[in-house]
Amino acid sequence: MKLELRAVTKHFGSLAANKNVNLVVEPGQIHCLLGENGAGKSTLMNVLYGMISPDSGQLLINDEVVSIRDPKDAVTHKIGMVHQHFMLIPVFTVAENIILGSEPVKPWPFIDHQSATERIVALAKEYNFDIDPSATIENLPIGTQQRVEILKALSHNAEILILDEPTAVLTPQEADALMIVMRTLKAQGKSIIFITHKLKEVLEIADVITVMRLGEVVGTTTPAETNEAALATMMVGRDVSLVVEKPPAHTGDVTLGVTDLFVQDDRGLTAVKGVSFEVRAGEILAFAGVQGNGQTELVEALTGLRRVTAGSVVLNGTELVGQSVRDVLNAGVGHVPEDRQRHGLVLSLSIADNLVLDQLDSSQYKSWWGRKLKAIVENGTRRIAEYDIRAQNEAEPLSSLSGGNQQKVVMARELSRELKVLICAQPTRGLDVGSIEFMHRQIVAIRDEGVAVVIISSELDEVIALGDRVAVLYDGIIQDIVPPTTSREDFGLLMAGSRPTVSAGSIS
């Protein structure tokens, strides 16, 4: 099916999210939509899927003007959407989520579970998805949940599929698997709109690339006609450094010492198995590894969110094990969590309130009669400008921001406190190249101020670029701690649980 958007415009108050946007997607085409956080990509797709109404413009399918007032209309016109934050019900099974809203019955009002299961199994087999229809969503890894979302769209006979930041929460292996799925769908003649910040993915998978900036289309190109640097410049409107500028570290004394740490996961299984490491003032220790090898449990243990089974976490001579999250924060630990919406933000509150969530008990923002609203607002205004958070004002609720801008709020808040150690899990997940450049500079700057930094990232490029030393985690065990100059081949072996013929480094 051919899709065309003509002169689509959408305002939110005085903010023009889309300005006369034109877009054409041909049948059997993977059309990548690039842009900074707040460029208007998700707004445009929400217009297409009927989740919001445009102020003006037209939508055409196969050269005929159509009206899409809600997602039901979109599904009727064979448009499916996989949102950045999945629209699945965690306590329902795979089958229940996929058939929700179009349940087969026999006789009414009983649901024909057998028929639904058979249909889902056949559909999963067609696209080579290894999915158990009876599995509960909350027990599935993120990559599998995404496949459920895709199957749900395909079960409604979608011919146009919108994928909004689909790889932002995936491991490299899961992202590679998604690329295979996209090529399969393309071969079947389906049209795919692929929204992403990852330039390498765009150049690998796209047939056509459209770049948006500040709500407008600034250019359309193809992988053969462009490169990463050129795309980054189109997105941001200036030259962007794709290389982290990081002077040599000048380290001080040990700030954070972790000894023989054991931590269990939610199932009661040991996820962190006797981990020991040290981080000095003024250095970045970056953790590499495929997601699901104990990274989440390690971060939660270090920040007081998860009980430690055994071992010690010492910050400048103070034992943190057994202390509350509040005590850990007050000791000088900054935390950028892996799941910003669950552990980092309160979406219903304003940007200004979120920027002081961990400081509301300080005299700067609290007095004997209540909150100091003027100080909170002034801080919000200042941080929005400092971190280029795309919002109308500091009173806007967090829920209205894109995922990347939400991440900026978390980072702005954590770096506004006096820290001894900063722990960042997936610090640039969902951010565009300009924002990634900015965040990397902030992390390096705070390292150079003498703060110890721990980075956990599933992006090997990021780990290598930021780390002064790199710890490779596999199955809850540190395989080795190596210099960032270690070869990718050796990193790959360590991340897979093997060791290079000649060790790339030594644990220290």
133 and 275 in a single domain? The answer is no
* Number of C-beta neighbours around residue 304 at 10 A: 22
Q: CA angle 478-480-481, nearest 5°?
A: 105
* 3-state secondary structure labels for all residues of 140-161: CCHHHHHHHHHHHHHHCCCCEE
Q: Residue ranges of the alpha helices (H) in 188-318?
A: 199-205, 228-236, 295-302
For all residues of the chain together, what is the average pLDDT?
A: 87
What's the alpha-carbon Rg for the chain, to the nearest Å?
24
Tokens standing for residue 414:
């954590």
pLDDT tens, 48-75? 999 999 999 999 999 999 999 998 899 8
**Residue 104 pLDDT level (bands cut at 50, 70, 90):** low
**Is residue 244 situated within a structural domain?**
no
pLDDT over 60 at 507, yes or no = no
pLDDT tens, 31-53? 999 987 778 888 899 999 999 99
Cα 56 to chain center, whole Å? 31
- Residue among 482, 441, 491 nearest 247 (CA): 441
pLDDT over 80 at 316, yes or no = yes
Classify residue 150 as exposed, middle or buried by CB count within 10 Å of its CB (0-12, 13-18, 19+).
buried
298 and 431 in a single domain? The answer is yes
Please say which residue of 175, 208, 236 terminates a domain: 236
pLDDT tens, 428-457? 876 777 788 888 989 999 999 999 999 999
Q: What is the pLDDT of residue 272?
A: 95
207 and 313 in a single domain? The answer is no
What does the alpha-carbon distance between residue 5 and residue 23 come to, in Å, rounded to a whole number? 5
224 and 294 in a single domain? The answer is no
What does the alpha-carbon distance between residue 160 and residue 62 come to, in Å, rounded to a whole number? 11
Q: Count of residues for the chain?
A: 508
What does the alpha-carbon distance between residue 71 and residue 2 come to, in Å, rounded to a whole number? 19
pLDDT tens, 258-299? 999 999 998 899 999 999 999 999 999 999 987 778 999 999
Q: What is the pLDDT of residue 159?
A: 92
Question: For residue 242, what are the CA distances in angstroms to 229, 309, 415, 451?
Answer: 7, 41, 23, 24
CB within 8 A of 421, min separation 6: which ones?
Answer: 255, 256, 279, 315, 332, 333, 334, 451, 452, 453, 454
Number of domains in the chain: 2
Please say which residue of 210, 236, 262 terminates a domain: 236
What does the alpha-carbon distance between residue 392 and residue 46 come to, in Å, rounded to a whole number? 19
40 and 152 in a single domain? The answer is yes
Give me the domain span that covers residue 223: 3-236
Please say which residue of 208, 236, 264 terminates a domain: 236
pLDDT over 70 at 173, yes or no = no
Helix, strand, coil percentages (3-state) for the chain, rounded to 5, are 35, 25, 40
59 and 135 in a single domain? The answer is yes
pLDDT over 90 at 219, yes or no = yes
- Using the structure block, give the residue that is written with the tokens 């999963």: 124
3 state DSSP class of 252: coil
pTM over 0.95: no
105 and 219 in a single domain? The answer is yes
264 and 179 in a single domain? The answer is no
**Is residue 291 situated within a structural domain?**
yes
The domain spanning residue 321 has which CATH number? 3.40.50.300
